[in-house]
Structure 1
Amino acid sequence: MSKIVSRASLGLIRRLPGLLLALLLLAPTTLLAHEARPLYLQIDELDSAQAGGYSYRLKFNLPPSITADNRPFLTLPDSCKSQSLGLLVQLDCTGSLDGKTIGIDYPKYNPSVSALARIRYSSGESHQALLSPQDTQWQLPPRESASAIVGEYTALGIEHILIGWDHLLFLLCLVMISGSFKRTLITVSGFTLSHSLTLVLTTLGLVRLPIAPVEAVIALSILFLAAEIARGQRTSLAWRYPVAVSTLFGLVHGFGFASVLQEIGLPQTELATALLFFNLGVEIGQVIFVLAVTTVFYLLGNWAAPSLARLQQALLYGAGSLAAFWTLQRIAGF
């Protein structure tokens, strides 16, 4: 009898995991998880700065998990008065909402749902944020202003050129092949005008080129100039007309600048301002670099000409070696 019981118990134990799994699948249990669908809040600015005030229209879309007795309400700035318009809420504020904080509160409990919040200003500028279930406040982003964009994008342009080793090495080679200050000025001006043209055309979407070949040609442009300088055949096109070389390759470098600007992103309402001052920042960075290089070359040429020759040779072969490596690396990445 005991053997029979033992065998029956053993069989039950073996079937126990399967039975438990079946119970879990069939039982009407409620899983404690976050609601997948977020609460949606849309804020539209109707009239900007009319009679010293601002008007907004708010719209809520609630997921089914939020019950009617736990419908959320907004904690608004003291400068705003709300008026219910059925499913919509009208706000009349004495000041703009940009930079202000709006709270999303629940009368009973936090149902642990995310919130997708979006604001659209009357200028067409829009911003959105995805708030986690724990984030019950949203600080609205400030409006884009021309003055802020001027400073931000000028600094971005300067920063990009001063950390862009390929562009700096190309400028270095231009300085070395130009010779005199006047020829350097003309040569760099040709580079500036040509890369500004392709930067604008690409940013505005009028011209498109794949970035991988562009980056390879940028590296190849440095290698070409370094080889021309090393050969020292002053009857070649590059030696006789450096401005032609700088202008031609400047078109390609402009596509490189444009790709960086696209990664940074452009404002929605001040596109022309951002584009202009990013390009201006690039030119400021170029001027800083060219002046530094020409000053060092001038001082060494007057005080220690042999040292200048050794320095230029080291820079030349270093630039050529790096450019050769970049060219192969970028072509291999196609």
Structure 2
Amino acid sequence: MKLRTLLLFWVSFFSCSSYADTINPAVMNIVELEELVYEVKFDAPSEIVSGNTFKAILPNDCQEIEQTFLCGESLDNREISVDFDRFRSNNNLIVNYTNNDGKTFLGYLGSDNTITLNITSNVQMWLSFVEVGYFHVLVGIEHLLFIFCLLMLVPSRKIFRTVLSFTVAHAFALVLIAYNVFVISSQAIEVIVALSVVLLCYELLQPRRLSLVYSHPVMFALVCGVVHGAAFSSVLKFISKGQLQTVQGIFFFNLGVELGQVTVVVAFLLINAFIKRTGLCLREVSDFRKASVYLVGGLSFYWVFNRLNEWSVVLGI
């Protein structure tokens, strides 16, 4: 419990400086309308767009003509960059490129604001989907907080079953919602995801004998897995505009999500085992543990109320 408290504290501390007002990232969509003619559009949450504009910087042989670019050569496997007139948000920008042959590349913009549109084979295309799914988990602070809080509550003997239940549930939900079997408002999903973290924080403050999550972690993981799967599906739809809602696109994006989640869980368990083995444990301080939980809970409440406010604006309430 000592290490778990420390890890939770540092993750929550990091989240203070992170954008978590929306699940969806910023996206630059590049589509080859006809041979060597490209349309470039940016789609980003309002808090990133406000007071900030993005500009695509294509190779020198590309000329901008009436909101499209005419290039001397294909953009396949070439480097492009993005210019931000004020700031680059903490929300990483995803580049979604589709060429005239229907091949798609997804990737995160590099730290130097450049990216190479690697389209060499179908394998490279599917790997780009895995990469985006993988890193979306690692940069998604809410999902990380949820996993950390859940691992703090779950008895060691039930960790495998709980994580497996959560994984199966959100993979199942991602597929169903991606194919529009169920339609759920993305605003509602964002609110419920934040509420799931709030609930875990509340449970962490309860005696174990009174904690429903501690007593029934598998059932709780199944329910929340559906919610988080819906959130991942919302992201997939947002970044692809429906282009990746194929069996392969969903499979490889989901594979990346699962690999990212496994990485987080395994890292947590390995560090926990190492600390226990070496005896490098901090002295348990009840106030410190409570402060960590209150910090995460407070941040999650802020996200809930902020999203409810944005939702009310959208609905005109």
Task: Tell me the TM-score normalized by structure 2.
Answer: 0.59
8 Å contact from structure 2 (residues 38, 70) kept in 1: no
Q: 1:308, 1:148 → 2: CA distance?
A: 48
What's the counterpart of residue 169 of structure 2? 194
What pairs up with 1:80-159 in 2 under 5 angstroms? 132=65, 135=70, 137=72, 139=74, 141-144=100-103, 145-159=121-135
What pairs up with 1:1-334 in 2 under 5 angstroms? 132=65, 135=70, 137=72, 139=74, 141-144=100-103, 145-180=121-156, 182-265=157-240, 268=243, 271-302=246-277, 303-307=279-283, 313=290, 315-334=292-311
Give the direction of change, closer, same or farther, for the CA distance of 1:116–1:151 in structure 2 (3 Å limit).
closer
How many pairs were matched up? 213
8 Å contact from structure 1 (residues 238, 245) kept in 2: yes
Q: 2:250, 2:291 → 1: CA distance?
A: 36
Task: State the Cα distance separating 1:203 from its structure 2 match.
Answer: 0.8
Q: 1:270, 1:257 → 2: CA distance?
A: 13
8 Å contact from structure 1 (residues 116, 131) kept in 2: no
Task: State the Cα distance separating 1:314 from its structure 2 match.
Answer: 5.0
Q: 2:146, 2:172 → 1: CA distance?
A: 18
Structure 2 spans left out of the alignment, 5+ residues? 1-32, 40-61, 75-98, 104-120, 312-317
Q: SS at 2:205's partner residue?
A: helix
Q: SS at 1:333's partner residue?
A: helix
Structure 1 spans left out of the alignment, 5+ residues? 1-41, 44-100, 103-114, 118-128
Q: 1:331, 1:305 → 2: CA distance?
A: 40
Q: 2:186, 2:158 → 1: CA distance?
A: 31
Share of identical aligned residues, percent?
Answer: 28
| Structure 1 residues 137-167: Cα deviation after superposition (integer angstroms, max 9, x where no partner) | 4636455253123201100011100011111
Q: 1:136, 1:159 → 2: CA distance?
A: 31
- The higher-RCO structure (CA 8 Å, 6+ apart) is 2
Give the direction of change, closer, same or farther, for the CA distance of 1:301–1:332 in structure 2 (3 Å limit).
farther
CA RMSD across the alignment: 3.2
Letter in 2 for 1:153: F
Task: Tell me the TM-score normalized by structure 1.
Answer: 0.56
Give the direction of change, closer, same or farther, for the CA distance of 1:136–1:210 in structure 2 (3 Å limit).
closer
| Structure 1 residues 236-292: Cα deviation after superposition (integer angstroms, max 9, x where no partner) | 321111111111011111111011111221785882111111111111111111112
8 Å contact from structure 2 (residues 203, 212) kept in 1: no
| Structure 1 residues 214-242: Cα deviation after superposition (integer angstroms, max 9, x where no partner) | 11110010110111011123343211111
Q: SS at 2:209's partner residue?
A: coil
